[in-house]
Amino acid sequence: MYVCLCNAVSDKAIKKSIAEGATTMRELYAEHCVGNQCGKCCKDVKGILNEELLKL
């Protein structure tokens, strides 16, 4: 499922980046540009980040 429609970034891609070491929104932005256009995905991406970090 796409979490960022503007940049066609899926939740899988976000989770993969976190599994590979991303721990901040800044890192996810640098890798995927999430939130750089309409910004509507930021809340959802942050939610995924928090959930995945709790699993580590």
Q: Which is nearer to ligand FES, 7 or 56 (CB)?
A: 7
Count Cβ atoms below 10 Å from residue 26 Cβ, excluding itself.
9
Among 35, 48, 49, 52, binds ligand FES (CB under 6 A): 35
Window 3 to 32, contacts with ligand FES (CB under 6 A) = 4-7
Residue found under tokens 């750089």: 36
Among 13, 28, 41, 48, binds ligand FES (CB under 6 A): 41
Q: Which stretch binds ligand FES (CB under 6 A): 10-18, 20-28, 37-45, 47-55?
A: 37-45
Contact 34, 28 (CB under 8 A): yes
How far is Cα 42 from Cα 10, in angstroms, rounded to an integer?
A: 13
